Amino acid sequence: MAERSKVAVKRKRTVLTIEKKVEILDKLKKNSCSSLAKEYGIRISTVCELKKNEEKIRSFFVSMDSQTVAKKRNSMKNANGVQLDKAWLVNFAHSFS
């Protein structure tokens, strides 16, 4: 008898932008998790995880300075030197006025 070789197929990692995450959350009101998972090419568990973290995702989306950034940004992590950056920006703007 011939042996069957089992080849493990790696799934391609799908990274969603903040904008896509909010879009999925909006569609979740009308569609099921499984249909959205198929539509976006992600696992059902990913959609369920988005649903679980809906409040955090939506508040981060609203707090973003520019909605165009949401199209490029994937994570909700903040930069380390935010206060320093703001102080530098104020100083920089003050030097030109």
User: Are the CB atoms for 45 and 63 separated by under 8 Å?
Assistant: no
Orientation of helix 54-63 relative to helix 44-52, angle to 10°: 70
Is residue 2 pLDDT above 90, yes or no?
Answer: no
pLDDT, tens digit, 9 for 90 and up, residues 8-59: 777 777 889 888 999 999 999 999 999 999 999 999 999 999 999 999 998 8
**Cα dihedral 55/58/59/65 (nearest 10):** 170
Orientation of helix 44-52 relative to helix 33-40, angle to 10°: 120
Question: Would you kindly state where each structural domain of the chain is located, as residue ranges?
Answer: 18-95
Global pTM value: 0.64
pLDDT, tens digit, 9 for 90 and up, residues 82-91: 677 778 778 8
